[in-house]
Amino acid sequence: MTDKPPTIPVTVVGGFLGAGKTTYLNHLLRTGRSRFAVLVNDFGAVNIDAGLIARHDGATMTLTNGCVCCSIGGGFLETLGRILDEKIPFDHIIIEASGVGDPWRIAEIALVEPSLHLNAVIVLADATRIAALLADPHVGDTVRNQFERCDLVLLNKTDLVDAHATRAASAAVAALREGMKIVETSEQTMPDLPQANRKTTSPFRADAVPDVADHEQQFKRWQYQRGGSFDRVRLETALRALPPQLLRLKGACTLAGDTGPSLLQMVGRDWSLTPVEAPERDILLVGVGTDDLPDPAELDRILDRALAAPPAFDHHGGLQPPAISIPLREGQIPCR
């Protein structure tokens, strides 16, 4: 056991109505490379391909990539509490602030809750009207407040205005305070989740840097890479035989008899296989477990039992290409 459990990073996404918060959250959910819990104001606007949705039970949508999207309609604090009580901790919690809310108020939760740390506050701005909103007599103060303590501004919808208007919008946001970091975006060019590694903000008035445990250090990773394919029936048996310390397993593999690769995702004891379009034909899985995860060689042996007899020929009659080793960058899970 470790003295202190790892803390989960929190990113708050704010911005006035119509700035593109939901578009950004849709993008993060669809492209999620690790297990995100995304808390949204309104499910109605979340637009995820039906094929990516594994389960939808009203208040929670579970995606095949392991991400979860929760509506905060039933009470924000209750929803967040439920997320924190999940047996398998999420890799990242992303919270959508209300269009008229102050994202910093939500970010403060990550400063006082010991199981969380604040990754970033991201505020989206609609390039077509942010300058007008900032000067609006009714909502100008509300909109200006949203930017007060953000780490990053996504100046969105820049594809809908010309370069001159984009510059004007950017200048209006930049004028709010020194050091505003602005990235221009459009629906087609949404960025991934930034790792802001906030150093400037601490929950302590004395400016002590909080002792944030490194997420990766508390978990063990295991990578399984083989040429060839799995036998479907034996794979089921092998997955059941994996030890409970393995929290999740994800990656590409091919099943004997299939023409293309599949995405294997296992969270706890639940797993799914979804056909994907990918050039890789081999097996490359990455697992994450608690720090008492058994030796990798032992885990390898369990999955090796599921390997199909190496075929001499592929289904098109050609020779199976030799196994290619794909270099893995640190912290990257090789699937899309």
Partner 1 sequence: MVVHASFHISNVNTLVLKRAELDRTTNISGVVFGTDGEPSGEIQGIAARFRVFRVLGSNPLSGNLTLEDVNRYASSACVQGVTTITDLHNDLADQTVEVYRAASRRDAFSVRLVPALASVSHTPEQAVAKLAVLKATNNDKLHYGIVKLVVDGSIQGFTARLRWPGYYNGAPNGLWYIAPEELPVIVEAYHRAGIQLHIHTNGDEATEVAIDAVEAAQIAAPRPDHRHTLQHCQMADAAQFRRMKSLGLCVNLFANHVYYWGDSHYDLTMGPERAHRLDATGTAQRIGVPYAIHSDAPVTPLSPLFTAWCAVNRISSGGRELGKATEALTVQQALAAITISAAYTLKMDHLVGSIETGKYADFAVLEEDPFDVAPEAIKDIAVWGTVVGGRVREAPRA
Residues that bind partner 1 (CB under 8 A): 16-17, 42, 44, 73-78, 80-81, 84, 99-100, 105-106, 108-109, 111-114, 138-139, 141-142, 202-206, 208
Partners of 125 in the beta sheet?
155
CA angle 199, 204, 209 (to 5 degrees): 35
Q: Which is nearer to partner 1, 99 or 227 (CB)?
A: 99
Whole-angstrom Cα distance, residue 170 to residue 158?
Answer: 10
Q: How many CB atoms lie within 10 A of CB 244?
A: 10
Q: Which is nearer to partner 1, 10 or 246 (CB)?
A: 10
The distance of closest approach from Cβ of residue 111 to partner 1 in the complex, given in angstroms and rounded to an integer, is 6
The distance of closest approach from Cβ of residue 46 to partner 1 in the complex, given in angstroms and rounded to an integer, is 13
Q: Which is nearer to partner 1, 101 or 289 (CB)?
A: 101
DSSP letter at 51 equals G
Q: Which is nearer to partner 1, 58 or 318 (CB)?
A: 58
In contact, 147 and 176? CB cutoff 8 Å: yes
The distance of closest approach from Cβ of residue 51 to partner 1 in the complex, given in angstroms and rounded to an integer, is 25
Whole-angstrom Cα distance, residue 1 to residue 271?
Answer: 27
Please tell me the total number of residues recorded for the chain in this structure. Answer: 336
The distance of closest approach from Cβ of residue 204 to partner 1 in the complex, given in angstroms and rounded to an integer, is 4
| Residues in Cβ contact with 127 at an 8 Å cutoff, skipping those fewer than 6 apart | 155, 156, 157, 158, 160, 161, 165, 166, 169, 170, 184
Whole-angstrom Cα distance, residue 297 to residue 257?
Answer: 27
The distance of closest approach from Cβ of residue 331 to partner 1 in the complex, given in angstroms and rounded to an integer, is 29
Sheet holding 36-40, edge to edge: 53-56, 60-63, 68-71, 36-40, 92-96, 8-14, 116-126, 152-156, 182-184
Q: How many CB atoms lie within 10 A of CB 331?
A: 11
> Helices 232-241 and 296-304, interaxial angle, to 10°?
150
The distance of closest approach from Cβ of residue 99 to partner 1 in the complex, given in angstroms and rounded to an integer, is 6
In contact, 34 and 22? CB cutoff 8 Å: no
Q: Which is nearer to partner 1, 203 or 296 (CB)?
A: 203
Q: Which is nearer to partner 1, 113 or 258 (CB)?
A: 113
Whole-angstrom Cα distance, residue 278 to residue 264?
Answer: 13
Q: Which is nearer to partner 1, 77 or 312 (CB)?
A: 77
The distance of closest approach from Cβ of residue 74 to partner 1 in the complex, given in angstroms and rounded to an integer, is 8
Joined tokens for residue 177? 């305070």
The distance of closest approach from Cβ of residue 103 to partner 1 in the complex, given in angstroms and rounded to an integer, is 11
The distance of closest approach from Cβ of residue 100 to partner 1 in the complex, given in angstroms and rounded to an integer, is 4
Q: Which is nearer to partner 1, 105 or 240 (CB)?
A: 105
- Letter for the amino acid at 182? I
Q: Which is nearer to partner 1, 116 or 288 (CB)?
A: 116
